[in-house]
Structure 1
Amino acid sequence: MTAPLKVPEKAAHGLDLAREVLRIEAREVEALASRLDASFEQAVELILQCQGRVVVSGMGKSGHIGRKIAATLASTGTPAFFMHPAEASHGDLGMVTRGDVVLALSYSGESSELLEIVPLFKRLGVKVISMTGNAGSSLARESNVHLDAHITEEACSLGLAPTSSTTAALALGDALAVALLDARGFSAEDFARSHPGGALGRRLLVHVRDIMRSGSAVPCVSKAASLSETLLEMTRGGIGMTAIVDEQNHPIGIFTDGDLRRILEQGVHVQSTGVATVMHTHPQSIHPNRLAVEAVELMEARKINQLLVVDDSRSLVGALNMHDLLRAKVI
């Protein structure tokens, strides 16, 4: 019998400490939720009325959190960017326009770099939303709206490193972004348009028409074709199948490489057999305007590797297989 793994004393202590860090930060975020009040609604309304962008600013760890908040706002329908407060007084203030709103982060509310530029924002007529841990701080008093991000305990065992405070600020920023997203009616499709290179973008933006084979690239024979003619066309097409169509170019059947293996095992004579006698009737199809991910779902549900594409008149306009979907990174 294998002896149980013995965890070194220091490692065990580290594990206990890590769990306590997570518990402390979770408690602080939970407390933050219970303190949300009308000032949060005012901040949301101020940003919704903004004709420009949200300029997020903060020093040190607050700055790192601010960068993430700005990125989250921008990707969820609220144009935003991060401006370093120390660089603002050296020219970057020119990025701020009268129609903007500033979101300033400082846990103490006494960051000198921020306090130096707040009067300049006011001179421009720019509204300031502050996020601090001290409602009586200079930054909170100078702001149009103050968001309370106060915490009672840092998770750092020394009580020094910003831990709970940065987590609280990040969570409050996420809450702001999601509230704005909802107020704007921002949809999953809108999110995908700002993430075209990501998996979600491909799932929500790529349509069947974007990746299907069309024209002469679609292997196709008439219902009068022989099996040998069908095999030649299937080889030319290179997607493991051939569509069989009637006089109106409506697909009435499909013949795949799997079908070929089955009929060869049955001893069917290729030269003398018509494809209409061995094809699969009522082939699965999809409209070119449907999402490519819907094609994946249909193919997986039907356990097929190829799919015909038909238009509103049920005419054959394209075809695709799993390899096409893989190349498009839909799956």
Structure 2
Amino acid sequence: MAASVSAWAQPYGYAINSKGYDLDDSRVAALWRIDLATGAEEYIGWTGRGDFIDVEGLGFSEDGRLYGADDSTHTLVLIGTETGNAIPVGGSRSNMGIRLGTSMDFGLTFTCQGDLLVSSSGTESLYSADPDTGEVELIGSLGVPIVDLTVIGETVFGIGLGTDGAGGVAAPNLYRIDPEAPAAELIGALGPDASPYIQAGLAADEDGQLWAITDRNSVPPSEDRLPSEILRIDPHSGEATRVAETLVGIESLAIASPGACDRGLAPPTGSVDVPLLSPAGLLFLAALMLILAMRQLRLRATN
């Protein structure tokens, strides 16, 4: 059912317009393939045919299977990248073990170790999930409404809720997530290029570049159905650069399986790593400089 994304050239991503608008219901709560450079979209198929009408978090496993978390039924699903069809992992709906009616607003990502992490902006919490059964286990509170997650190497990133239900600014920032603590450490604000938004999808491409798509459909107090916004994000500062617009109502994004696992996060652009000597190396360098200085003094004395 699932297809590997390695055949697609970057930058393309998969997203679901769970808060979309279209006269054709099958084109809302559907899987789309999006050109992140231009915003051009390709319809793949409807995920809502099994009543999974609010799939938010999306993420690829190491073997290229696309997972999603449906907030309407609290179900971890597998999604076909050629059909858009969603089926519950383990064969059971509501398999996450969360009480129905609880507003979760999921995000998710796989780590380089193969662990499946799930965030909830509704509860401001972090969970681990079993990719075979869907069952989640609470890791702990993050204290921040994180709407989606992704990884570059060993670093887990989260993007915050943009606007709350009353129209106030919530947490339109990039965070570094520590799954062990757990904790959300502020990296920085997305900045002025990021228009007001509600939910968002966050993902990293195979080159370790962060991307986001933000949902701007009826951002309180407005009722305007604005197109979603594609952002490229600096993982070191959190600053976003607006790239393009795309479909209305996107809250998710998946690009590739966990990447940069062998090399980690690249240093900031323009920085240069300065090699440091060991204590023994420093001692040798000091001795060498002393010998050279003494030799220079002898030469001067003979002259």
TM-score (norm 1): 0.23
| Structure with greater strand share of residues | 2
In our comparison, the structure showing a higher alpha carbon Rg is 1
TM-score, normalised on structure 2?
Answer: 0.24
